[in-house]
Amino acid sequence: MKRNRLWAAAPLSLGLAFGTLLLNPALRAQSQTAPAGQAPVGQEEQQKAQVFVGKVVKIQDGRYALVTDEQAGKGVYLDDQEKAKAFEGKNVKVTGILEIAKNLVHVSDIQLA
pLDDT digits (tens, 9 = 90+) for 82-101: 999 999 999 999 999 999 99
Please give the Cα distance from 110 to 8 (Å, whole number).
Answer: 41
> Can you give the pLDDT at residue 32?
44
77 pLDDT above the threshold of 50: yes
> Can you give the pLDDT at residue 47?
80
The model's pTM? 0.60
Domains of the chain: 45-112 (2.40.50)
> Can you give the pLDDT at residue 24?
52
Return all residues near 38 (Cβ < 8 A) that are at least 6 apart: none
> Can you give the pLDDT at residue 76?
97
64 pLDDT above the threshold of 80: yes
Summarize pLDDT for 8-48 with one digit per residue, the tens. 444 544 444 444 444 454 455 444 444 444 445 555 454 89
Q: Are 20 and 60 in contact (CB under 8 A)?
A: yes
